[in-house]
Structure 1
Amino acid sequence: MIASGLWLATGALNALGAHIAVLDKSGVIVFVNEAWSRFARDNGATTAATSFVGTNYFEVCRDAVRCGDATARLALSGLQEVLRGDRGEFSLDYPCSAPDAERWFRMSVTRFAAESEHYLVVAHDEITLQKKSERELHATERLLRSVLEALPIGVWIMDAEGRIVHGNPAGVAVWAGARYVGPQNFGEYKGWWVSTGERIAPQEWAAARAIRNGETSIDEEIEIECFDGAHKIILNSAVPLHGSDGRITGAIIVNQDITARKHAETERSAMLREHERLSVAAQEANRMKDYFIATLSHELRTPLNSVLGWTAILKRAFPDPPTFERATAAIERNARIQAQLLNEALD
């Protein structure tokens, strides 16, 4: 029965992909599985698989420490701590690169007792793909953070509880500062609805609604009081973030300062109103001018017509006397000259 149990345990260990060795309390290897032996052979070992048994693993680590290997120092310390019972387990990620490839492994150490003796189980798992994935993830995170920091609009990040955990430089500039608080302290941010002029209550902020209700708000126009006392008009947006299970895990808040644009719009509206006022005034002035000219023309032409008419009558009534003829001619000539001048001036 004991032999059967040993055979079963050995078979189970040999079936594992991890490189496993069992060490006694002195650090001597008393067993290695096939994955351990196979890895050694694939990486240049020329001895038989069983020759690893009897090697003092602690001494191997000490030799590496004497050569300045910092990873070996950490491994040896962890092994001894688990053996003494100072800790239940120990793990260490370390590089073990080949000439043509980068490789990473994780050493895990646990302790067990058998026949009143303590032994260590040392397992080495290759985690190269995991490390590459982590490195790529970190690179992506750095890229996204660089983009976030470079954005010209304010961006704030909230956690699942609604606490503001990060704001980019543009966001801090919009508010002239930052308060990394949760919804219960949103009152530290002062704002008013532009449409009504009413103060925004803490629970009414788009960020609070995103966390509480999963609500998306886009470009809400609000007036804010910055932390330096200045007032600005901003477009305020909030979008909730959801986990794979659908639960809200945080929110993104976006602030865009449109103060200059709003001032320009106000000035443009004022200019349009002034242009409209001047246009109406010009139309009224033209109407008054036309009325004045019509009136003046009537008032001036009427006596001239009378002068000319009576001159014609006098010429017919007294055609002979030379002096009278010259007088009436002069009257008529000058009246016609005045009529022509008026026609040219008024028409």
Structure 2
Amino acid sequence: MAQALTVLIIDDCLEDREVYRRYLLQDREYNYTILEEESGERGLEVCRQFQPDGILLDFLLPDLDGLEFLEQLKKQAKAAMPAVIMLTGYGNEAVAVQAMKRGVQDYLVKGQTTGDLLRSTVHSAIKNAQLSQELQRSEERFRTSIENMLDCFGIYSAIRNHRGEISDFRIDYVNAAACEFNQMAKEKQLGKGLCEILPIYRESGLFDEYCQVVETGKPLIKESLIYTSFDKTKAFDARITKMGDGFVASWRDVTEKKQAEERLQESQRLIERIAETTPGIVYVYDLVEQRNVYINRQVNKLLGYTAQQIQAQSPEFLPQFMHPEDLISIAIFFQKFNSAKDGDILENEYQMRHANGEWRWFFSRDTIFTRNADGSPRQIVGTAFDITERKLAEVALRQSEERYRYLSDAVPQIVWISNAEGECEHINQKWDEFTGQPIEQAMGFGWTEIVHLDDIPGMMEKWLAAVHTGELYEHEMRYRSRDGTYRWHLARGLPMKDEQGDIIKWFGTSTDIDDRKQLEAERHRLLQLEQTARAAAEVANNTKDEFVAMVSHDLRSPLNAIMGWAKLLRTQQMDTASINNALETIERNAKSQATLLEDLLNMSRIIQGKLQLNLGKVNLAAIVAGAMETAYPSAHAKSICLESVVDKSIPPIRGDWNRLLQVLGNLLSNAMKFTPSGGQVEVKLLRNGSNAEITVSDTGIGISPEFLPHVFERYFQGDRIHKQSGLGLGLAIARHLVELHGGTIEVASPGVGLGSTFTIKLPC
């Protein structure tokens, strides 16, 4: 869309005004609103009402000459002067030059003015005026910022003693204003303690306040502090903020002010030095004048012209430098700045003729430097770099890629090309055949839709690492096939780099490795099973050996007693009391051996799955009573207090009377065995929801935490068992019997010496 501009023509010649109007209305780049006046006074009035962007001013007017008009226009417009183009008769150039010194942007000679010349002159003049106004506003903003800055600035780190207390602050950085404020050179301050070289900070209490900032993180604001040093008293405002294990401080010496102009000049000199040392061409281009108002010396190296030669060229000479194919595109490029914002960077590529006649490719990055009064861009600042070698490489690359694409479609693998960011630029037909995703949908980042979601984080990690190092990219991931299943693929990509070593493309393949992955997974599974089985076998062997040794010992002990007393009986030299004692000992050991054998038989039946229950209605209260009667003699013999709490309202359950009695008897037997004399054993039968809950608690030796998880394992005995008889099968049998009844059995113990509690839960 053409930009709208208002132009005022002040000329007492109607024919000339009509010519100028016709020329301007033929402009395709700008949409002009034409205002006309015959006298200077009327022209000034129109300027007050409409504020035109530009003025075509005839030097000789009926009431005022051009110079008088300019003086009044300056007073009237103040800072916002429109672009003024002086119209002079032939031979009046000297007058026009005087007018330009007073603010006229350009001049035209009547009778020698063509339409193109008029339009380009108007464009340039208006843009110059707008950029000049924007430059003035920019400089004013910059000066204001400098004036508002605090003059002094410093960075300090805490120095801590061996107790972690702050003893001082090391001076890490101070600016020139701070050095002047302290009346001390920077090298005499850096690395030193603040209070070491300026004791006034500790004496005045500021040091303690700075410590509070570091310890609490709360900023400190001090105003109008009085500071006396080297017999001089100054007042300053300070702002202290924590940074790491220290603080940053900024303070303003309110006794004197720095001049912003010095900083601006230094900044401008720095910019000029940077521009002259930049490897590319740095320039400021005036969109209105259509010429470079500044260009650095690199133009001589890259184009063979001096900076003065380039700056001296008028717009008419542009076709001599710019390639014919780029003349239109460069004009369109300049138009983009009309909608650009400050800070926007526009990029462009074009060809320019070297002084030796060779065409060279350039890449430029431009941004708006100044604007006209109406906000339109006036000047742009930019850099241009010679990319001829890169462009030639790109042409060669495109040709190579064409051959590559033909070849890739003949390969059974998935073949792909992406740019440096990973956006797909080419993928062969194998992708469509396998995934069912059309090639055009896979372009850009569309291909990631086919990757398994669980594989994307790892893929991105490997990709970023390859981009960072510039080395081979290789990663295994799953692609979704046409039928919705996922198959493993090995993606491998090689980077293609330019002369600077920057990656410009990636060439890669994706190979189906799903069958190999399945074999690896199966091999790993079998290996895990083999290792698990081997470990279990080793444990079983060790357990078996320990068990055989234990069974041999526990069966041999009662057998030795039986055989020993039997031999004594055969001597027939014993009195009646000794005979009775011998028979009781033989009977007791025989029963013990029978119990051991019964446990072995029960465990054998459990392992073979042959242990069966004789189910019927069972009264749990009666079972508890029976188990208590059986356990009472043992409790009485050791002076153990045996108590019970029974809820007799619990209804009968379906179960095996003898097996449940066996379980409870086993728990009570263990409780008696591991509870010392004078201890206590308590049995409770209570209802807990839909379960009947039987607990057997003792005040015995307890169970260690490391043994607690293994209490119900076959053949497993803790350290406490070695002091008692048994094969370590009773609790394993008890758990199996309880589970056959649909219940559970658990154990809890606070620790060694603190007793234990077994809890049986049976469904009512």
What TM-score bracket applies, with the shorter chain setting the length? 0.3 to 0.5
TM-score (norm 1): 0.36
TM-score (norm 2): 0.19
Q: Which has the higher contact order (CA 8 A, sep 6+)?
A: 1
